[in-house]
Amino acid sequence: MFKFKKRRSLPKETERKIYVNQADRNEEFQYADNFIKTSKYNMFTFFPMNLFEQFQRLANFYFLILLVLQLIPQISSLTPWTTIVPLVAVLCLTALKDGIDDVQRHRNDNLVNGRISHVLRDGEFKQERWDHVKVGDIIRMENDQFVAADLLLLSSSEPHGLCYIETAELDGETNLKSRQSLPETATLLDDNAAFTRLRAEITCEAPNNNLSRYEGALKLDGSQLSLNNSQVLLRGCILRNTVWCYGVVVFAGKDTKLMQNSGKTKLKRTSIDRLLNYLIIGVCICLDTICLLPHHTAEQRPCGYADGVDFLFIECPARAGFLLQIVMFLLCMCTICTIACGIWESQIGVKFQVIQPWDVFVEAIVNRQNQSGAIAVIAVLMFFSYFIVLNTVVPISLYVSVEMIRLAHSFWINWDQEMVFKDIPAKARTTTLNEELGQIEYIFSDKTGTLTQNIMTFNKCSINGRRYGDVVDEAGEMTEPLENTPLTDFSDNPEADLKFRFYDKTLLRDVKKRDPDCDLFFRLLSLCHTVMPDEKNGRLVYQAQSPDEGALVDAARNFGFVFLYRNPTSITCKIMDEEVEYELLDILDFNNVRKRMSVILRKDGKILLYCKGADSIIMERLRPGNDQLKQITNDHLNSFASDGLRTLCLAWKELTPTQYSTWKAKYHEATVALENREEKVDAVAEEIEKDLILIGATAIEDKLQDGVPDAIYSLAQAEIKIWVLTGDKLETAINIGYSCKLLTDDMREVFIIDADDAAGTQDQLEKAKTKLGSPDSPMLSPAADGIPRSKSGVTFPGPGSPTIHDIATVENGHSNGTAAKEMDENNICALVIQGKSLVFALTPAMEMLFLEVASLCRAVICCRVTPLQKALVVGLVKKHKKAITLAIGDGANDVSMIKVAHIGVGISGQEGMQAVLASDYSIGQFRFLKRLLLVHGRWSYYRMSKFLRYFFYKNFAFTLCHLWYAFFCGFTAQTVYDPWFISFYNLFYTSLPILALGIFDQDVNAKNSIDFPKLYTPGHQNLLFNRQKFFRSMMHGVATSLILFFIAYGAFHYSVDDLQGIQAFGTGLATILIFTVTLQVALDTSYWTYINFITIIGSVVFYLSLTLFMYSNLFATSYLGSEKKVYSSPAFWFTLVLTVVILMVPVVAARFFLIDTRPTLSDRVRLRQKNESKLKRFQVSAHVAGLTRPSASVTPTARRRKNRRSMRSSYAFSHEKGFGDLITTGTNMPGGKESGSVRLWGKKARRRTDQNGAGAVITLANAFVEESSPEKEMQEVRIVGATGDQVDGVLRPVVPVQITSL
């Protein structure tokens, strides 16, 4: 017997007590263990839970009710197997798919839970799986390991209990952050015995999702010690630059802050699924109304007709009234049908009591003499009978077909070789959301690792007025480097990084000439920083809090200025093969207020101050004079910024000993102040950082992923709004926005919301709303700020500017020919909001104001946001805008918004696989999102919409023939078709052509789908399948059924051939129906393949063959021989041709009329595609025949540099204060301030020069192993002989942009 342990309910946790090394006491609190579960089922719960979930789907529940009704013989005229088999098949296939998905989730859970940690057990650190780790356990971790749970840091290999972590899984930042243990626990070091004896009590906050806060207290040896976030290592972090560390688990499993920010997995359904549910409800209501029509039981046949005799031609005076009911079917269904039911039974049905008495079941309920009661009972019975007969309007095969089509669409995504990156293909991790990819209105994107590679590269610089780094073609114009552009040769530098790419050889030439300005420039880069050196696989690597800073130090290394190592009192570099040591006096570290950093050094008796920072900050602190150099440098900065580069300025000054000593006293006094210490330190630093001498400027490229600007441009042209949600600071996010063309020159204004309180945030939002509502809002003139404006490389079309899409702007699926109406001028704006302001903007009192302002902007950037804030922003739009949302990211910090959005896309990036595992689709790079949406998403929506329209059409045409036949059979629920035909109609006869349509059809090819993003816009308003389209398909089916039935009825009734009888009529009507709906699907097919030909022709052939076979002498059926009688009659074939012509000619005429008078963009592009295909075939044929030759050849050419206005001074220092204090105090140095060097280069540091200057020189010649060259950069191709350099053939004007800080 299984025993289930009942978990006693615990009160809500308000605080947590943890007893270190006392597992028995911690067990009493029943804290969550470290087991992570993302799976939904186990062996015992799979079938009940899965069935429960499946029957929550309205369609499955509907067919379950239908099956129950079919099992009742008194009301069912069809065998229940017609519902049992497809229902069981659907349930089993869905359960199989869900089971496979859940098995994969179990495997992923096992991979995470199966990671190994070293946990203190019985006085020794033993290997334990992550899921066996418990709260209160002490864990040992080593360098480059993931943190298993939220830990309180106890000690580390670094001095003073310091360790470094990378938090990319939490906030997307790859720069290092420092954590430091309490001095009282740092002395434990790595003493196992000391940890075994350790007994302490931790009191802390309850589990929560705040990543930046931890409050608690540690009771150790009778002392109460305060705890904060600086002592906590969170799950998902990676230990860096630290040999080992120890920590005690405070939160485990689902209580960790990472999991608290992950959100809950919700069942996602597409809008088409939801619409189908509504339609089913509506159809059921209609069927219920129809079923109130007058009727007889199967035994109640009119006078003169025995069982099985045809009732088709009964003459009755009420026929005209019944035809009137058909005309008023939708308007007065309930009233007329209810009255007609009573009339039929009271005036006609009662006259056949002697020949056809009422059923025994009816008489058992009511007395024979109680005619009104009997009529009511019969009405109820026939209500359910017709409910069963007419259920084929929405057959269960609909959902089988939908799932098969979605599965095929998923395979198209998985097999698309255009979306493979480094052998990583795109993958559809779900099969239920494909068509929703074609209806996306909002994209929420992470930045780091999603839009960017998080790789900073030294791109250009300005040194004493000279500009370096440009690539110039033969005509002397600046161009983009191509694959074959020669690189600067650094092979004579053994310390050079082989990945470093620089194209301007003049800079290296000047460095080798020992140009004093270049020497000073790179000397500053190699000395003014807080980078920590490290060694990995015998190579010198740098660990920096800011990736920009690491890129600058790495650039200096490549040009011969190699930073080797440091200690609290000195910095050692190798400059042009000569080791040089500087005495480190002070570091004035960076913070978000100063936006600069400085170092004060002493060398050969000279005291030097080197400073680098934002250009606006440095320019204000320069020594008066030398205006020409300042102007030239400022011009260079503007040019760098317009290229999307991140800039900063370099400056220096020499201090006299008196100046320094006086300042040092003030600085020391400020550093020991008890009140307002930071402000006083900044004020003193301001005094020394004056009268600087300008050296030059640097330009760093935050390398975007390939194709990001083009992808964002195309998605914006598809009228998809893109919001970037990032943990980066404001300047970095804005600069990346310009680089990736999310922010462009033609935007009227960029509003910045950065208030620190609710009132300020609301005021800024109100001002932005007012300006957005005013078309006369002030704009900067091209020269208003002194910044030259250049044409954007790829920009959004400004308001009123002509574009290629003017030919057919899609509005309600049709062209209006006016591009000016497609984008209101107010939308040419952007909104940038800080995380601190977003906290107030997301409150209930302000969220609608924020959403209103954001909705009026084309682009929105949210900076410094937490994972939970990302989810809240997505949820806000999802809730109030009623739009389809997509979230894309690559790290664990993106999981929450991926789960909240309608569709989640994970990128297989450098931040782990958490985002991919939580996503619905995974791709290798952001650029593939364009093809995923504009091609696969649009095709899926287009195909599914066309499939559903045709499916409802053919089933209304098929099913309503039963309704028309009811007027002639006394409403006995007798079917007009053979029961086998009813079963096979959707299963065999009409299934394959419509599946081929839903899987292969396309209006335009992939190239044109990408070239014309406006083709995507109908999905936003669900224009291709909605209630109106459904109603049209229904009315088309109703009209078809009417024409089919009554033409066949008249032809068969008055035919000179012997075609009377229900069997002959049913066979003929079924055959005409198959020909009609098959020809209709042929007309609906836009893209023909061999499979379409085979399925369309094969379906008709299969129907005829199977009919001849089943109605032969091999089977005992009432339809025996009816097919020979029908198919041998010329009247039948004439009727078939006549019916098909009557039904098809209006359809063809209407389509030609609409294409000729009101063409959609799709129609125009398809015509263009057809003409291009014909022209291409003609050119190829002519070329083969030797009549002509190709008029243009494709050759790679250099791309002319495209500039754009950008915010300057976007140098991305660390988001937190740097390592300056740790370096100067010796906190991160072994042995403190008196230590000789850092641990890494300790041995080399001891190889000091002797008194005569002779000594060993540190070289790293053998430390670098040749690696493969980095990825080839993208290049453009130009048609030789073509004219113009326009985008899409259109010259777009540049509209001035205003950066507005509110």
> End-to-end distance of the chain based on CA atoms, in angstroms?
69
For residue 749, how many other CB atoms are within 10 A of its CB? 22
C-alpha–C-alpha distance, residues 468 and 465, integer Å: 10
Whether 522 contacts 463, CB under 8 Å: no
Residues pairing with 923 in the sheet: 907
Amino acid at position 108, single letter: N
The torsion angle over the Cα atoms of residues 541, 547, 553 and 558, rounded to 10 degrees, is: 70
Instruction: Classify residue 933 by its DSSP letter.
Output: I
Question: Would you state the structure tokens that stand for residue 351, as one six-digit string?
Answer: 């006259």
Three-state secondary structure readout of 1155-1190: HHHCCCHHHHHHHHHHHHHHHHHHHHHHHHHCCCCC
Whether 499 contacts 1265, CB under 8 Å: no
- Look-up of token digits 């259109």: 1290
Whether 147 contacts 237, CB under 8 Å: yes
For residue 1267, how many other CB atoms are within 10 A of its CB? 10
Question: Would you state the structure tokens that stand for residue 335, as one six-digit string?
Answer: 């009233």
C-alpha–C-alpha distance, residues 135 and 151, integer Å: 9
C-alpha–C-alpha distance, residues 530 and 1294, integer Å: 41
Q: Would the CA dihedral through 955, 961, 964, 968 be positive or negative? A: negative
C-alpha–C-alpha distance, residues 612 and 601, integer Å: 14
From 736, 746, 829, select the one nearest 789 (Cα to Cα).
Answer: 746
For residue 721, how many other CB atoms are within 10 A of its CB? 22
C-alpha–C-alpha distance, residues 1001 and 408, integer Å: 12
From 926, 521, 864, 506, select the one nearest 708 (Cα to Cα).
Answer: 926
Whether 151 contacts 255, CB under 8 Å: no
C-alpha–C-alpha distance, residues 926 and 890, integer Å: 10
Query: Any alpha helices (H) in 856-934, and if so which ranges?
Result: 867-880, 895-900, 914-918, 928-931
DSSP assignment of 639-656: HHHHTT-EEEEEEEEEE-
- Residues across the chain: 1302
From 52, 134, 152, select the one nearest 95 (Cα to Cα).
Answer: 52
From 238, 237, 16, select the one nearest 136 (Cα to Cα).
Answer: 16
Instruction: Classify residue 1012 by its DSSP letter.
Output: -
Q: How far is CA 77 from CA 385, 387, 561, 1269, in A?
A: 7, 11, 91, 74
In degrees, rounded to 5, the angle at the alpha carbon of residue 853 between the alpha carbons of residues 852 and 855 is 65
Active-site residue numbers?
446
Residues pairing with 889 in the sheet: 906
Q: How far is CA 272 from CA 77, 940, 993, 1019, in A?
A: 32, 12, 21, 11
Whether 876 contacts 841, CB under 8 Å: no
Characterize 108-136 residue by residue with b for buried, 16 or more Cβ atoms within 10 angstroms of its Cβ, and e for exposed. bbeebbeeebbbbeeeebeebbbbebbbb
Question: Would you state the structure tokens that stand for residue 684, as one six-digit string?
Answer: 């003193």
Characterize 58-95 residue by residue with b for buried, 16 or more Cβ atoms within 10 angstroms of its Cβ, and e for exposed. bbbebbeebbebbeeeebbbbebebbeebbeebbeebb
